[in-house]
Chains A and B, each alone.
Chain A
Amino acid sequence: MATSSGHTLKAFDDDLDRLRALISEMGGLAEHAIREAMRCLQQRDVQGAALIVENDAKLDALEVETERRAVQLIALRAPMAGDLRDVVAALKISGVVERIGDYAKNIAKRVPLLETMGNIEPLSLLPEMARIATEMVHDVLTAFVERDADAALRVMERDNAVDDFYDSIFRTLLTHMMEDPQSIGQSAHLLFIAKNIERAGDHATNIAEMVYYAATGQHMTEAQTGKKP
């Protein structure tokens, strides 16, 4: 349920806005980290990959800051109803976004190990898969900031595309490994990378569920989450 207007106490609005801004900032960093990890992988940019690993600390610090602000807001403002759901969602989302950043870091750590790899087919599928996953992360956090339950639902739908990519990459890599046992090590690394991107997409759908609950007060139905019974 949308609310009519701002709080009588303006400082309350400022606090909530700042919390949302923190989540946006975290989301921006996580998206950038995944995109950069893909670029570094494509270009075998070992130094760039090292920077991604280094920059992950920023995301960790922002998560701590989000938690601090959320706890402070609960203590000082006693938020109710939609406000309370927003603050709890922010608290949970910050943890999930931090995790998405970890996946980017994980991908970046594999870049030096793949420096000598040739341009095999799965490598060309990964950036497209990552593009969908990062868009999901971007859109779901926009949905959170704008309290848009419908936008959250639309993010859910796109997870199937990411899963399909994963299945496709998995099969191609298996074929590749069977044909060229020399490449098993590198292929395994690529498989983990694909899995990390797939997990990032899953986390975006988890966030979508949190956004939906924060915005509407209702949990998504099983049909909406697209979970198989």
Chain B
Amino acid sequence: MNEIPTPILADIDEPPADVNRAPKMSARDVSVFYGDKQALKDVSIDIRDDRVTAFIGPSGCGKSTFLRCLNRMNDTIPSARVTGDISLDGQDIYHSNMDVVQLRARVGMVFQKPNPFPKSIYDNVAYGPKIHGLATSKTEMDGIVEKSLKRAGLWDEVKDRLSESGTALSGGQQQRLCIARAIAVDPEVILMDEPCSALDPIATAKIEELIHELRGRYAIAIVTHNMQQAARVSQRTAFFHLGEMVEYGKTSEIFTNPRERRTQDYITGRYG
């Protein structure tokens, strides 16, 4: 009798994994305290550059706190204390010899509200490369600006008005400008903290398409309250609740067959 081949359970939108490639970032037993209050409990997760990783969970669950640990944004909060290990390419990012400015160039961030500088579109993108000395000539800088705006899917809309103010753009364009600004310093990781929550559906779709395009080139971690968005853009999803990472897994599994009761209740809309 002929052997029946085992069906290949391929996932929608899941590129084949390069198992030999080490994760871009690794977090192990990361806890965060604001004063006496523990906001994050022993989170361990890998962020890979061939996957988009989404963090979901109700407000106050610790997902943004964790995201901000990945480029040491919590350093700016005096009462915040981070324990555990986070490494970028195997290098401890909380080590005393880590240059935080360099770290944030390698691990860029896009925020909830688009926050372009009150400068020209060109200067918004050129600002990072300039302070990091990435361009030696005007021509080279022009190239960086054009490439970054192209990758952010904004070039065609702004190429004839690069000297206009970045704040004059629409909300969606401003957010793509911020992504271009993050890309301009050639980062390895891009962190996004609810990048679409202030945008309309069309602008949101453009950002999501952009995330799709950028996957593989950068390791991307995104915090979102919109579960449909997590389902649309990510290949891995982590669910946070009350400072714990309750469940981490393939996005396709988290949204069809979560293992944990709390995940199921949250994603099906049964909390509260």
Contact = CB atoms under 8 A, between A and B. Distances in A.
Contacts of A83: 268
A12 B227 CA distance: 17
Contacts of B268: 3, 7, 79-83
B258 A9 contact: no
Nearest to A1: B264
A85 B268 CA distance: 11
Contacts of B264: 1, 3, 81-82
Contacts of A1: 258, 261, 264
Given A3-B264, A78-B228, A8 B269 contact: yes
Given A3-B264, A78-B228, A80-B227, A85 B269 contact: no
Contacts of B13: none
Contact of B258 (A6, A8, A12, A81): A81
A182 interface: no
B256 A3 contact: no
Interface string B234-270: 0000000000000000000001111001011101111
Nearest to B4: A229
Size band of the interface chain A makes with B: 10 to 19
B267 to A, nearest CB: 4
A8 B267 contact: no
Interface SS of chain B: helix
Nearest to A85: B256
Contacts of A185: none
A22 interface: no
Contacts of A9: 269
Interface in A1-22: 1, 3-9, 12
A84 interface: yes
Interface SS of chain A: loop
A36 to B, nearest CB: 39
Contacts of A3: 261, 264-265, 268, 270
Given A1-B264, A3-B264, A4-B261, A81 B256 contact: yes
Contacts of A217: 256-257
A79 B268 CA distance: 6
Interface residues of B, number: 16
B227 A8 contact: no
A97 B258 CA distance: 29
Interface in A144-183: none
Nearest to A6: B270
Contacts of B256: 80-81, 84-85, 217
A12 B258 CA distance: 20
Interface in A47-92: 78-85
B5 interface: no
B272 interface: yes
A81 B257 contact: yes
A12 B261 CA distance: 19
A3 B255 CA distance: 14
Interface in B33-49: none
A87 to B, nearest CB: 11
B32 to A, nearest CB: 28
B255 A80 contact: yes
B265 A4 contact: yes
Nearest to B255: A80
A9 B270 CA distance: 8
Contacts of A82: 264, 268
Nearest to A2: B261
Interface of B: 227-228, 255-258, 261, 263-265, 267-272
Interface of A: 1, 3-9, 12, 78-85, 217-218
29 contacts: A1-B261, A3-B261, A3-B264, A3-B268, A5-B265, A6-B270, A8-B270, A8-B271, A8-B272, A9-B269, A12-B269, A80-B227, A80-B255, A80-B256, A80-B267, A80-B268, A80-B269, A81-B255, A81-B257, A81-B258, A81-B263, A81-B264, A81-B267, A81-B268, A82-B268, A84-B255, A84-B256, A85-B256, A218-B257
Given A82-B264, A85-B256, 20 more contacts: A1-B258, A1-B261, A3-B261, A3-B265, A5-B270, A6-B270, A8-B269, A9-B269, A12-B269, A78-B228, A79-B268, A80-B255, A80-B256, A80-B267, A80-B269, A81-B258, A81-B267, A83-B268, A84-B255, A84-B256
List the 5 closest A-B pairs by CB distance, nearest first: A217-B257, A80-B267, A7-B269, A83-B268, A8-B272
